[in-house]
Every structure is written in structure tokens, then in C-alpha cells.
Amino acid sequence: MNKEQIDVRYVANLARMDLSEEECTIFQGQLNAILGYIEKLQDVDIEGIDPTAHNSPVFAVLREDTSRPALSQDDLLRNAPESALGQIRVPKVVDA
């Protein structure tokens, strides 16, 4: 794990977020410093320690699969940037 390894542009692509040249340069330096600091976790002996995902002692909460009231189509479409025919409009994702 080399702290110089983070390729900010590559990771931004994974996150589906464009960055300007300037942002890339600034983030590269700042994230290298942060990752350098985070290296200290390598010093901790974690042999045989279980991970903790969250602190609530409840897991796999299930409910009855029954119908119940939900937000209406109108309620949800009100926030949509573009809609038509009662649906959210998006750019074409499948070529004919």
C-alpha cells in the first residue's frame, strides 16, 4: 500500500464525477497527506479481531411483505429534473 498510489483522475471516474485539472492537482496533494496519515492503522494488531459494521445490535430486520401506503407518482415526479408521460426522462441508454 503505497501512499503515492492514488490516481485521483482514475478514482473520480469510478465515482462518476468530472474533476478539473486544478481540482485534480489540489486533491492529489491533500489526499496524499491524508492517506499518509491513515497509514498509522497499519501499526494496529488486528489479528483475530472481528470487523464492526455498525453499533446497533440488530441484524437482518425483516417485515411482512404486505402492501402499504407510499408516496404518489406525482409526489415523486415533482422533484424530477425532467419528466414526461408520468415517468422520469433520461438520455438514451440502449442503442437501437
Partner 1 sequence: MSLNTQTISSLREQLSAGDISPADILDSLAENISKSDVGAYLGHDLDCAKHEATSVDLTKPLGGIPIGIKDNINVNGQPCSCASSFLENAYRAPYDATVIRKLREAGAIPFGRMNMDEFAMGSTTENSALGKTINPHDVCRAPGGSSGGSAAAVASNTAIATLGSDTGGSIRQPASHCGVVGLKPSYGRISRYGLVAFASSLDQIGPLTRSVEDAALVLNAIAGHDSADSTSLKQDVPDFTEGLSDGIQGMKLGLPKEYFGDGIHPAVREKIDHTVKGLNSAGAEIVEISLPHTEYAVATYYILATAEASSNLSRFDGIRYGNRVENPDDVLDLYRRSRAQGFGPEVKRRIILGTYVLSSGYYDAYYNRAQKVRTLIRQDFLNAYEKVDAIISPVSPNAAPLLGADKDNPLQQYLADIYTISANIAGISGISVPCGAITSETGSNLPVGLQILGPSMGEQSLLRVARAAEVIQQS
Residues forming contacts to partner 1 in the complex (CB under 8 A) are 1, 6, 8, 11-12, 14-20, 23, 26-27, 30-31, 33-35, 37-38, 40-42, 44, 46, 49-58, 61, 63, 71, 75-76, 78-82, 88, 90-93
Which grid cell sits at 25? 492537482
Q: How far is the CB of 57 from partner 1 (least distance, A)?
A: 8
Q: What is the largest CA-CA distance in the chain?
A: 58
The least CB distance from residue 25 to partner 1, in Å, is 12
88's enclosing H/E stretch is strand 87-88
d(CA 16, CA 8): 12
The length of the chain in residues reads 96
Q: Which is nearer to partner 1, 56 or 67 (CB)?
A: 56
